[in-house]
Amino acid sequence: MTFSASLDKALYLTLENGCKSLRFDGNSIQSAMHLDDPYSLALGYSQTMMGFLLFAPDPKQVLIVGLGGGSLPKYCYRYLPESKITTLEINEDVIALRHEFFIPDDNERFSIIQTDAVDYITHGRAEADVIMLDAYDDEGLPAVLATESYYDHCRMALSEKGVLVINLWGTDPKLNIYIERLKRVFNGRVWYCRAFNSYNVIVFASNDEHFKMNWIKLLFLASKLEARHDLDLQGIVRRLRAGLQYSLS
Active site residues: 134
Beta strands across the sheet bearing 190-194: 110-114, 84-89, 61-65, 128-133, 158-169, 200-206, 190-194
CA distance 123 to 179: 24
Q: Are 110 and 85 in contact (CB under 8 A)?
A: yes
Q: Are 83 and 52 in contact (CB under 8 A)?
A: no
Cα 47 to Cα 107, 173, 195, distances in angstroms: 25, 24, 8
